[in-house]
Structure 1
Amino acid sequence: MSNYRAKLERAKAEGQRQADAWNAAHPVGTRVIAYPSVRPEYDANLAANTRLVTTTRTPAWILGHGEPVVSVHGYAGGITLEHIDIDHDSPLLGGELLAHVLTEATYGRIDRWLDDIGIFAKGYWQEVDGKLITTGLRIGEKPGHVVAKFGDTIIWHGDRSFSVRQSEVAAS
């Protein structure tokens, strides 16, 4: 066996061991915080803009080179287990799959994600100091739509409906 082949087989065995350990400890539906792009300790701004508060949708598995990954709600494909944290303080409750905090920085990503899953969304505008500005996002068709303002948490439910939890600042 070539040195490359032996190294690859060791990487696959270690990756499978990690995936098996993950699966034994964390069933599908586990609440997690996922960082698809980069962990916050390496790039806090990028991590904040791509951070997903979500649940797992598959067991972990390994890629061809042995990297253990898991799929989560709100993201297509697998995310390396190194970019997954267990969410012990989750805003998610029973039956909720995904939570996004709407900010000016996450607005575009969340709007694109809603488009990708076939949910109508458009900017929510209000007059502030005599100027019409975007202050949030309207999600869904009228009637029955919800409005999330910057700072609010958008919750996606298993039945494909949405709700909004007001930010602590807005609620006070």
Structure 2
Amino acid sequence: MTASSRQARFDDGESLDEGGAARARAAAGALPSAVRVVTSPSARCRETARALGLEGGPTRELAGLDAGRWRGRTLEEVGAAEPEAVGRWLTDPTCAPHGGESVRDLCGRIARWLADAQAVQGRTVAVVEPEVVRAAVVDALDLPASVFWRLDVPPLTVTELSGRSGRWNVRLGRPLTAPDAG
């Protein structure tokens, strides 16, 4: 968690708050070993990975949704200033009134990354933004992009994608807790 995420603020590059960092440190060791660890380039994802005791590099393709000129503003502020634009953005996955990236574009970017990730033998752990998880689930289950905003991704939870032969299986939202915490 960050102060921005508590305020429903579009990502502005903010670091984890102390509570979020403490929760991540408490969960260190909860993930199985991996042959590859990657993170979103955001400060909060890189810091979460470090707090979890994971070493991996930021991967540009795993960046969160580019909210363009809305970056750093709260959803309430943008909704008050541009209600029609927010309405279109939340209902039309091809729409990007903020000048950044559309939901459909994000889903396509993550689908391409997942296709490439299938070539890696062994487990990959990715510490990413909630919207990246949403996009991965949309792709893995071959869902329409219109369901993107209906997928809730709580902080510090695990979504597992596994499978073979071009088919994914998904396990959603397991809370990440320290191994001895259950």
TM-score by length of 1: 0.25
Q: Which has the higher helix share?
A: 2
Q: Which has the higher strand share?
A: 1
**More relative contact order, 1 or 2 (CA 8 Å, 6+ apart):** 2
TM-score by length of 2: 0.24
Larger radius of gyration: 1
